[in-house]
Amino acid sequence: MHRPQGFGAFSIIWLGQIVSAVGTRMTAFALGLWVWEESGRVSDVALLSFCSFAATVVFSPIAGPLIDRLNRRLTIVMSDLGSLAATGALLVLFLTTTVHPWMLYATAVVTGAFLAFQYPAYAAAITQMMKRGHFPRANAMMSLVRSLPAVAAPTLAALLLAVTDIKVIVAVDAVSYLFALATVFVVAIPQNERREESAARPSMWRDSLFGFRYILRRPPLVSLLGLSFVVGLTAAVTWTVMIPFILAETGNSSAQAGLVQTVGAVGGVLGGVLVGALGGRDDKMKYVLGGVIGLGLLGRVVFAFGDSVLVWSLSLLVGWGAIPVIDGYTQSIWQEKVDKDAQGRVFAAQQFVENLSMPLALGMSGLLADHFFVPGMKKGGDLTGWFGGLVGTGPGAGMALMCVLGGAVLVLIGLLGYLVPLIRRVEVLMPASEEPAEAMEAA
């Protein structure tokens, strides 16, 4: 039986991931509403996402060695099967017993643990399934796995909840995982490229640290990872206050906040399409740094100065559109420069560091907003004398100031990137290695 190969095979798997991501997003939306209705506490809703996210971070170092030791198909299937099992358990709980929030948190941890395998496995599979010139296009398609469901899933979930209940949505999610699994089995996925290794394989603990050592011994990769972490942290800190800012400015209009988010998600789709159309470029860092500047200036500063749904929507449209450009070309550099036999471990280490920005941002943004910026920018606040003329005063002014300052930091990072050779010339300074990764570590 002839199986699709190359970019065509990847496109089939990608379609399965789109369907699965829509199901997962629908479940996340429905579970968030369920937890809110049960407890009425925002912290309980946030904890649901935190459990999944934290599990992904914690299990990333373990996922890397397994991805490199096992073949790509098996690790992808293992990730989807684990998530399917957690979803199935969730469905059984809703069908057979009284569900409590702690049960949802437990299943979120299990799902997050298996998701730790997903990104490194797919990123490594891309390098084996197609030529380098297709890497940016494939990464742009993977960015659509995040942005397309963000547009469709909440609406679909809301429609289903209006005529059925949460059990139907969880069942749809389970079916979507089965569809994704089917696509993995109908295509050809090349085996891992294994170079000659010593008879004694390193222990799992030592192998889990390999990706970190690999990056630390290569300053260009350290600079690239540092750039991604700082950009991700700054963008996340400001993102967490953007919807509350809209609510504060519109009298708690959830409809207007939802509209702005939807338009922003469309920007993510358009950004992915743009990178797909541009394809491979010789100077990828030029696009990465340009995207960072655009995200900061148009996606944060303009947003903070906006006073209407139109301005906020256009700002998020551009801001979300810049993210696939930044992520797509950054990941393409990693895929081109990291030895294929080490990509699972290195990409898992990359995922660990980059994903740390989210829990840090969640903690920082709340503290900064509630205890410093918001009270400081109220009438008579300590910050009004400095920034009152810039963003005004009132309940939304503190969050607007956070967006302005965060946007300025992003613009500064982008400009400094052009001035620092270790960042601007990372593609030249970090050529693809010809030597076995294990041998380089022993040197």
Report yes or no: 362 and 46 within 8 Å, Cβ to Cβ.
yes
Dihedral sign, Cα of residue 132, residue 136, residue 137, residue 140: positive
Q: How far apart are CA 166 and CA 23, in angstroms?
A: 12
Nearest to 134 by CA among 377, 429, 331: 331
What is the b/e burial string over 74-87, where b = at least 16 CB atoms within 10 angstroms of the residue's CB?
ebbbbbbebbbbbb
Sequence-separated (6 or more) residues with CB below 8 Å from residue 421: 429
Instruction: Provide the residue ranges of all domains of the chain, joining segments of one domain with +.
Output: 1-188, 209-443
Domain 209-443 has CATH 3.40.470.10: no
pLDDT in tens, the chain (443 residues): 567 677 788 888 889 888 998 898 889 888 887 887 777 665 677 778 778 878 888 888 888 888 878 777 888 888 889 889 999 999 999 998 888 888 999 998 998 888 888 878 877 777 777 777 778 888 888 888 877 787 778 778 888 888 888 899 999 999 999 999 998 888 877 766 554 444 456 777 788 888 899 999 999 999 999 999 999 999 988 888 888 888 888 887 767 877 888 888 889 888 888 888 887 677 889 999 999 999 999 999 999 998 899 999 999 999 999 998 998 899 889 988 888 888 888 988 998 898 888 778 877 877 788 788 888 888 877 888 788 888 777 778 888 999 999 999 999 999 999 999 999 888 888 876 444 444 344 43
CATH topology of domain 1-188: Growth Hormone; Chain: A; (1.20.1250)
Same fold, 1-188 and 209-443: yes
How many CA atoms lie within 13 Å of 3's alpha carbon, on the beta-carbon side?
Answer: 16
